Chain A
């Protein structure tokens, strides 16, 4: 069918194009090349002051009717335009130099490319080539950190293969529980939206799904931040779109590249631990001070003959070790009359600093382009295959054991349950295939059809074995995700004099499918088997399946007059299977306009101003949710009730469907989460394009976030989902790029960007009732969603220090009763003094106040590039200013119950101001493990700290060998470099790293610290 069609179309075009060749009879022939002599395809060549012009062909050649003395204007996207006067034949060989300034770039935007100058939306781009050459990372997101204003990337775990959090222009997601609800952007690789996250229910491995994309294969990352840019992606674009373009071959001889590097991962500063004698001393002190009569320390603390007494195990030292990262990439790329090819292979082995952890990636990407019918037909094929392998520890392994416990290899603890041996493997395999054909139907009109298939399989296998019983606990699971996408676009981009027009219409159909199967068992006898062998009982495994489809029609229109006045509009309509038939389609429009001021007469004479553009846009985008069948009302055909046996499955042997009482009923009112976004911006380029300034102000109003609302018990249902919560984000973004040639040989480039975001909850369900978040284990951990405040604030008890004297404890003048502490406990000297907000002489839930905001106010990054001759120094830093975080880790380590001795490692008390006696200037109240009410509580505002930080993320020193510097160099190019990753962090926070906290602002207790890496590498271009 396709073949026949193409044949017919070929004939058609031969016929249509014939006159063009006939007309251009009396011509001169020339060529347009880049600085290296490579052909530039598709460059515009025209005689100045006439309509006489043409484009270069695949070999860079052109033919033009021209008279001697004519000025020939030559321009091509990505190059600085050049005018030559035709005097001799040699002048027809036009050499263009690359335009390195951002404004000259051409960017891939939704379904098409646009030059910087024509863009009316808020679009940022990052060239990945230089970054990936000298830095090694599991996923590209971490390399983007600090590069783009308004894109806040936080690496909240140092574990190899962990998923960074990306929030573009403020958090816009709400939940009632501790599942970190993120507003995830949409990821599009070479025009194809990919599986970027799997929903919790269908996620079986913990690995970052995007880590299978080798960062070295990426040419450019474009971030669509505002609605005018993103609305063409409709229902998934509300939180921004990240467009990834992979590297392609370039005209010229085959480019063969090797990049080989090895890194040494060093263990950073760990938790402070009181070892051996110090721990004994501290435990003894707590007993001496507080132990009730008749309570004695465990023998390991008192009996010198006890084998544990003299231990001082350094658990952290035992489990954390310096490790090695290897990262090898190679590629061969080229292009010519036939098309282009690009094949790359990558291998990465990143051993974690923590025992038994690590991340491996095997990746290959092959991309080919074929030209047919004299470039009228362009066929692209891309095949990407990758595997990631993340190793983890079983949950039972902890670095926080008491230092008196001997290390596992010590013979005195063989067979004791000190820690459970075992391991977890997480394998992700992804195959991505996409094929597209572009047909240039007639001049300015092209049609593109593309089909892509993606298959992601996730497998996890874990086992732990009890050292005492030798019984093994094995789990095995597989998850499969499949994504099928078919899209068609038609582009018409004519130019009538000064009027430039571009119209795109398109259609796409997408189907995403997920399946999960998981089994587990605990063996009933000692075993060495690590696989699941089906134990007894009914609960041996689970399986689930889900699928959703999306059908879309979209169109984008861009118009510019004289490159001065720009107008853009887009519309997309998405139909999703997730919605009931009545509410199936959503419409996402946007409009935008731009004004290139510098082209106006009144600015023509301002020499220092190269470019000035004012932009504005407004549009509507959407998001949906993970549960594919939520609106349809899934029925329950009978589930096993673990407590009452099978009582609910059948009655009298007959079983029937019931609603799922937790999800409510068929809910056709559920609809898209709609985000209205307005943006105004200013782009300035000055002083020979050496200074560039970009400013954006935005308002992002997210309406109808999905939340459950509890239903009255009389309805029978527990809750129902509604589009109930509204969140507003407002912000400013600044980017300053400078390119200062200090001398001819010494160059200094900087990129400074920072963004301010203000986050506010506008509406909540149930009459704007506060949502106090409850963790999945039923705990109130102090996070609140309240109207008028930023999301996920801390609802804590306000600390006012410590009661230093009995007389400080307030007494109710009416009753004469003293203020009652939490849980109605009698307060004593040395206890935490919480403010009795409502003055009822009782500290309880109603005394909690909004005590902090975990959403960063300012985020940004500062990158500096120094080049001197062949030397290069690159320093990347990121920062967050104005964020509150909770030192949960310290809090947990200072909280002791009455059987605390020997349970866990202790911090060295000398480093903390802990109250012991009246007059102590202390920050932390008495640690009395036998106190009535635990005085170290989760919701104590004393543990809220300033989470601002400035981090020098990476520093690279490199030397570039080139032929011009070393004519004898056997390669085209060679670069040796040394990078230090995670150089230094400046912070006020008392914990180890202010970045390693959850989105909600809690220091992840027992989290994985971020390694410091020395990376040595060589990159060779043949």
Chain B
């Protein structure tokens, strides 16, 4: 009897012991933990997609949701402020103080510009890619080896791209290729970052497809061979490896995956992103819920009524500047890009109605021409701005190749690509064959073709020529780093290895 009792006790204790482990394995029921988040192919797909989503947020800009050290409510479409606003081509017709400060390279003192100096979101995208690269190899459930390799290459591409994009903005930036890396990383030299980008692209390239599944937009909003090669070419241009850049772009051209669309197809390119010319763009689609309302998309500031409910312009290229940039249009209105990129709105009509668009794109006065490269349906609410944010497109890399070829002495090849762009625009072919002039013309053509597409400032900074176009930046200032954005205060917290860009140590 007693033995049975003792046996019962022992049994209870044993049962207790074995069930103990399970008892303590308490997992949340309405969310997942890190251990549960990387188990299936779908998880892997999601992890990499999320890295792209964070990168899109990073381009759009940081808000106080992302860090309490900033006070900005919503992002502004910061890709514009990094890539275009300081080019000297822009004005703010409603005299916005923050934007004026931005044009004038006063980037530190304005609290509303401060979030633009913070690279936190780029490193979030990098960390998300790091985690994906660390975790995906172990996933087998619902993931073929081929797709796994592709996803890893995709994450690697995005990680390299994030580093590259940040490097163009801040110059020297920290390199973080390891998940959960909480070490206080110092800034790596710009060239080292770019070399890392090139070598990472080379690792990713073999596993990337030329095209992803789905429509052109779906395909080219994720990593492809084309996107990786374009990234590599851009990085090599910064490294002054012009032959390498030219070779990378030649691979893109030889693949026959992309074509220069006709001028009348530009609307699809800029408004919907469904275009054969796109190499890499940020995915937006209102139908899938991926759009911006008021904040987060630069269209908010480019457009007014009839596209949004703004009654006056916030950002514009002054009429005289348009005529200066597009001399062919000034001469005979031949450049087809001007009516595609600019519109004049009939501001005499009340703001409570849809205002008509005037037939002559430059009909309005000096400060009243709307930059209308990206458009949406005419609607006097802000909702659903979903024009894609282009990163690389064929015209961009063709002109890049033209520059690279001209710099490495292959002027004929340079002219051929330059003239492809000019022909599409309906302006006369360029025939001068002395390299410096060709290089200069290629740069001018890039300015025309890519205006408002977040390239101009990077081109000028890469060449050390921002001071020639922006009167607020001196040659010495640019040598000291004025072309790059300052590093935010937050990056110095808990990081003794962080250093401010030389110029910004002395300028506010």
Contacts and interface: CB of A to CB of B under 8 A. Distances in A.
A717 B180 CA distance: 9
A551 B20 contact: yes
Interface in A621-662: 628-629, 632-638, 641-659, 661
A507 B36 CA distance: 30
A716 B33 contact: no
A584 interface: yes
B37 A657 contact: yes
A716 B127 contact: yes
A712 B494 contact: yes
Interface in A1-48: 5, 8-9, 11-12, 15
B452 interface: no
Nearest to A12: B1
Given A644-B60, A644-B63, A656-B50, A12 B5 contact: yes
Interface stretch (A79-87, A338-346, A541-549, A810-818): A541-549
B301 to A, nearest CB: 14
A654 B45 contact: yes
B43 interface: yes
A711 interface: yes
Categorize the interface residue count of chain B. 35 or more
A544 B23 contact: no
Contacts of A644: 57, 60-61, 63, 74-75, 292-293, 295-296
A714 B176 contact: yes
The number of chain A residues touching the other chain, given as a range, is 35 or more
A657 B53 CA distance: 11
Nearest to A442: B2
B494 A710 contact: yes
Interface stretch (B283-291, B315-323, B329-337, B373-381): B283-291
Contacts of A638: 50
Given A12-B2, A635-B34, A651-B283, A643 B127 contact: no
A709 interface: yes
Given A577-B25, A634-B33, A643 B65 contact: yes
A634 B31 contact: yes
Interface in B26-83: 26-37, 43, 45-50, 52-54, 56-57, 60-61, 63, 65-68, 71, 73-75
B360 to A, nearest CB: 35
B390 to A, nearest CB: 16
A644 B29 CA distance: 28
A747 B127 CA distance: 75
A716 B126 CA distance: 7
Contacts of A665: 34, 180
Contacts of A633: 33-35
B431 interface: no
A651 B118 contact: no
A718 interface: yes
B181 interface: yes
Given A643-B75, A715-B123, A709 B494 contact: yes
Given A656-B48, A712-B184, A650 B32 contact: no
B43 A656 contact: yes
Contacts of A546: 28
Contact of B128 (A509, A643, A716): A716
B250 interface: no
Nearest to B130: A716
Nearest to B125: A716
B131 A659 contact: yes
Contact of A714 (B46, B71, B185): B185
A713 interface: yes
B124 interface: yes
A715 B124 CA distance: 7
Across the A-B interface, give the 5 residue pairs with the lowest CB-CB distance, nearest first.
Answer: A656-B46, A716-B127, A643-B74, A633-B34, A577-B26
Interface of B: 1-2, 4-5, 8, 12-13, 16, 20, 23-37, 43, 45-50, 52-54, 56-57, 60-61, 63, 65-68, 71, 73-75, 118-120, 123-128, 130-131, 174, 176, 180-185, 214, 218, 221-222, 283, 285, 288-293, 295-296, 488, 490-491, 493-495, 498
Given A547-B29, A635-B34, 4 more contacts: A15-B1, A641-B63, A657-B32, A715-B127
Interface of A: 5, 8-9, 11-12, 15, 441, 488, 507, 509, 511, 543-551, 575-577, 584, 628-629, 632-638, 641-659, 661, 665-666, 709-718, 720, 766, 774, 778
19 contacts: A12-B5, A507-B16, A634-B28, A636-B31, A647-B57, A648-B53, A650-B53, A650-B289, A651-B49, A652-B49, A652-B221, A654-B46, A656-B46, A666-B33, A712-B491, A712-B498, A714-B123, A715-B176, A717-B127
